[in-house]
Structure 1
Amino acid sequence: MSTPADRPTVLRNGVALVGPELTERPFRTLTLHGDSIGEFDSADDAGESFDVDGGYVLPGLIDCHVHFDLAAHPLAYVHWDRSGFVRSVTCLHNGLLALRAGITGARDLGSVDHLVLEYAAHVRAGSVTGPRIAAAGRPITITGGHCAQYGLIADGPVALRTAVRSQIAAGAPVIKLMATGGISTPGNPGVQGLNLDELTAAVEEAHKLGARTAAHAHSPEGIKAALGAGIDTIEHAAFADDEAFEMLKGSGTTLVPTVSALNNIAAGVGIPDDTVEKSLAARETYRASTARAIGAGVKIAAGTDAGTAFNPIGGLVDELDMYVTGGMSAYDAVRSATVHAGPVLGDKVGVIAPGHRADLLVLADDPRADLAALRRPVRVVARGRIVDPAWLDATIEEYASVLA
C-alpha cells in the first residue's frame, strides 16, 4: 500500500514549496527519513522513489475540524447508535477519504466516546493507514448545552477541571469546549454555554497538562468569553461582531470557520426540521461573518466540520474556495490549510523544512495560482510513506461496501 517504513523515500525532479511563505525550491531529490523531512539534492539518494516530473510538492493539507466517527448522514448523530464494528470501519473509511483528498492531518473535535482516540493511536503506531490525527475525545458542555446528549456534561469550574483531566487521561491532546449553543442540536446557537469562569478553569487545566483547547463559539458573548479564558482556537464564529474579530486578531488566536458545513443543508432530505431552519437562517450571515474575519486580518486555519449532515470527509478545497470568495487570495487559502493549520494540529507539521514531519502532497500544477490544482493529487505522502493510489481507491471501495 505504501513504501516500506525502514527505507528512505526519495522524491525526484520537482519544485518544493518550502517554509512558512511557501517559497519555490527546485530540487533534484528530496529525501525523507522515516517520518522526517531530510535533505535536498543529497549525493546519497538510494531508496524508494517517485518522479515528481516537474510538478509541485507542498505540505499535506490539514483539516482542523472533522468528525471521523460520523458518516455525513442526514441524521448525523444516529451514527453513534450503530455497532462498534460499523463505527470503526467508518473511521478507517473516513481516514482514507481524507488521504485521497490530500488531507494528511486532521483535528477530530468530538465523538460520543473515545473511539477516535483509539483510531488515532493505531495510525500513530503505523498499524493502519490514515492521516495524522489530534483527537479531542468527548466534547465538554453544560447541562442542556450543545451536544449535551452526547458530550461530557460539566457545570462549574471544579467539574470542568475534572472533565478536562478525564479526556487528557484518555489520550486527548486537544480539548473541545462548547462556549455557545449549536445549529445541529436543539436550542439557540447564539446563547452562551460555558461561562468565563468555567472556560478559564478548563483552559488552565488543559494547558497545565500540555493539551491545546478549542471552543465551539457562534455568538460574540461566547467568543469573547473563550478569548478571555485564553483559548487556542475559535470554531465557527457564525454570528461574530466586529469587536469579537478585533479581539481575535489582537489575541493571535486562530479562527477555524467551517463555513462550508452548511452548503448542502436543505429541506426534504431527511435532516431534522429544526436543523434545516437554523441552518438556512444562518447561512448567509455565516458566509458574511467569515468574509469579515478575512477582511479584518484574523488568522484563519482551514476546517470543514466534516462528518456532519451531507458534509463528507474530503471537502477541504470547497472550504478554501469559500475563503477566496470571501476575499482571501488563493495563496493565503493554501497557507490556511498548511502553514497556519500546522500549529493547530501539532508540532513540526504544515511546513516543508528539514526535521519537520514528512506529510506531503504532490501536484502537477501550482495551487498558489489556482486552488483547482488541489483537487488533482498526483501522490500523497503520509508519515514519510508514499500511499499507493490504486490501493487507496480499492480499500475505500471495500470499506464503502461494508457501510452501504
Structure 2
Amino acid sequence: MSSADVILRNGIALMGDELREQSFGSLVVRDGIITEVTSEQVTADGTPELELNGAFVLPGLIDCHVHFDLAAHPAPFLHWDRAPLVRSMTCFHNGLLALRAGITSVRDLGSVDRMTLDYALQVNSGQLLGPRVVAAGRPITMTGGHCADYGRIADGPDDVRLAVREQLAAGAGVVKLMATGGISSPGNPGLPQLGVPELAAGIEEAHKAGVLVAAHAHAPQGISNAIEAGVDTIEHAAFADEENYKQMIAAGVTLVPTVTALNPIADGIGIPKATVEKSLKAREIYRASTAKAIAAGVLIAAGTDAGTAFNPIGGLLDELIMYVERGMSTTEALRAGTVTAGTLVGRVGEDVRVGVVTVGARADLLITEQDPRAGLEVLRRPAHVVVGGRQVDLGWVERTLDETEAVLAEPPA
C-alpha cells in the first residue's frame, strides 16, 4: 500500500458541511488525516506531493446502500450460492469499481454470511485496497419475510435481540432490519413485517454498542413502525406518504432512497417475472415519492442498492443526478453523497469525521478538473482519488478490473 501522507498543491477545496469553496496552496495529509489547509506552500520534507493546477477537491463519494457480495446478475441472490473464492474476488472487484467511481466509503447492508465483514476487516485495516466499508453482516428478518432465504430469521423481541448481538459479535458496524416486504423477493412490499417491539429490541441492542440501524421499509405502516421503534435510517421508502415524511423529519431519521435501483429492470432480460412485475408497477411511484421527500425537506443520504439486478457497483452518480432531476440543487445532491452520507458510516461518538474536507477529517478525497457544483457529470471519471490519505493508482485499478472481470460473469444456467 502507498503512504498515507500526501500534500496536495494549488487546488480549490469544497470545505466543510456546506462545501464552501477555498483555494489553497497546500492541503496536508498525515497518517490519513487532513492536518492543514493553507494558502502557504508547506515544506514537503520527503512527503509525496500532488500538483493540482487549480483542480477541485471534494470529499470522496459515499454509497450508503450496497451489496458488495453480489454481482448485479439478473437473479442476484443466486450469487450467494457460488464458491467462496468467487464471492471473495467479487468483493475485491466491487471495491475497485467503487474507487474508480470516486466512492471512498460504503455501507454494505446485507450478505448471506460474514463474507463482507471479513472483506471490511481487510480493507479497513489497510491490508487490501478498497473503499472504507461499514458492513451489516446478515440482515435480520422474520420467518417468511424479505430475504428470509438468506438473512438471519428472528421471531419475537428476544430473538431479534440475539440476532443483533450475533452480527455485532461478528464485527458488524451497522445493523439491518426488515420492516416491510421487498420488491426483489417474494411477497408484498407494502406489508409490514418485523413489528414495533421486535424492531425496538434490535435497535436498543445496536445502540448500546454505538451502532446505527437501517430499516428496509417501503410502505407507510412499516416506515411508521421503524420510526416509532427508534431507527436511524429508512431504506427505499418507495410508497411513503406525507405523514411518513413528517415523521422522519420530527424524529431526525435519514432517508436512503436507492431510487435508481429499479431503472434497469425490464422484461425479457432474465430477471424473475414476479420481480419485473413489482418493479415496473413501483418505478414511477418510487420516483415521485423521492421527489416528494426532497420537497418536504427530509434529510437524504445517497445510496444505490448496488449489486442487485443489472445495478453494478459504481452507479452513485446516477442516483445523485436523479435527485437533481427531482428537485435538489447540485450542491444539495453532492451533500447527500458526501456530508450527510458521512454521518452514517461512522460509529456513534467516533472522533474522526468522514465525508467532509476539513482539518481533522479522514482524507477520503475526490479530485475533478472542473467544479462539480456546476454540473455533476464531471464526477463520471475522477482525475484523482485519495482513500485514507493514499493516492489510488487509477491506471492500476483499471487494469486489475480488466483482469478480474470474469469473476463477475453470470454462472452457467
TM-score interval (norm. to shorter): over 0.9
The counterpart of 1:15, out of the listed 12, 15, 27, is 12
1:95-244 matches, cutoff 5 A? 95-244=95-244
Please give the secondary structure, in 2, of the residue aligned with 1:149: coil
Among 14, 24, 33, the residue aligned to 1:27: 24
Distance 2:73 2:200 in 1: 35
Matched letter for residue 247 of structure 2: M
Contact 2:100 2:381 in 1 (8 A): no
Which residue identity does 2:42 align to in structure 1?
A
Q: Which amino acid aligns with 1:334?
A: L
Paired residues for 1:264-279 under 5 Å: 264-279=264-279
Give me the identity figure in percent: 61
Maintained 8 Å contact 1:3/1:48: no
Q: Secondary structure at the match of 2:343?
A: helix
Residue matched to 2:33: 36
Counterpart CA distance in 2 for 1:306 and 1:34 is: 31
Distance, in Å, in 2 between the alignment partners of 1:396 and 1:27 is: 34
Cα deviation for residue 127 of structure 1 reads 1.1
Shift of residue 43 of structure 1?
A: 3.0
Indicate conservation of the 8 Å contact 1:29/1:45, yes or no. Answer: no
The residue that corresponds to 2:2 in the other structure is: 3
AA at the equivalent of 1:382: V
Q: Letter of the aligned partner of 2:6 in structure 1?
A: T
* Secondary structure class of the residue paired with 1:306: coil
Residue number in structure 2 paired with 1:257: 257
Q: Give the whole-Å Cα distance in 1 for the aligned partners of 2:329 and 2:42.
A: 38
1:373, 1:334 → 2: CA distance? 12
SS at match of 2:22: strand
How far apart are the structure 2 equivalents of 1:143 and 1:34? 46
What are the ranges of 5 or more consecutive residues in structure 1 without an aligned counterpart?
A: none
The DSSP-based 3-state class of the residue aligned with 1:377 is: coil
Other-structure match for 1:285: 285
Encode CA deviations 1:70-115: one digit per residue, 9 max, x unaligned: 0000010010000000000000000000000000000000000000
Q: Secondary structure at the match of 1:340?
A: helix
1-side partners of 2:42 and 2:375: how far apart?
A: 34
Show structure 2 runs of 5+ residues with no match: none
CA distance in 2, matches of 1:101, 1:376: 6
Aligned equivalent of 1:363: 368
For 2:28, give the aligned amino acid. Answer: T
Structure 1 counterpart of 2:266, which letter? A
| Matched residue SS, 1:26 | strand
CA–CA distance in structure 2, aligned partners of residues 97 and 139 of structure 1: 24
Q: In the alignment, is the contact (CA less than 8 A) between 2:3 and 2:389 conserved in 1?
A: no
Q: Which moved more, 1:176-185 or 1:22-31?
A: 22-31
**Deviations 1:151-176 (Å, cap 9, x if unpaired)?**
00000000011000000000001000
User: Alpha-carbon deviation of 1:251?
Assistant: 1.2
For residues 319-398 of structure 1, the aligned pairs below 5 Å read: 319-346=319-346, 347=350, 348-398=353-403
The alpha carbon displacement at 1:353 in A equals 1.1
CA–CA distance in 1 between the matches of 2:144 and 2:406?
Answer: 37
Question: RMSD of aligned C-alpha atoms?
Answer: 0.9
SS in 1 for 2:29: strand
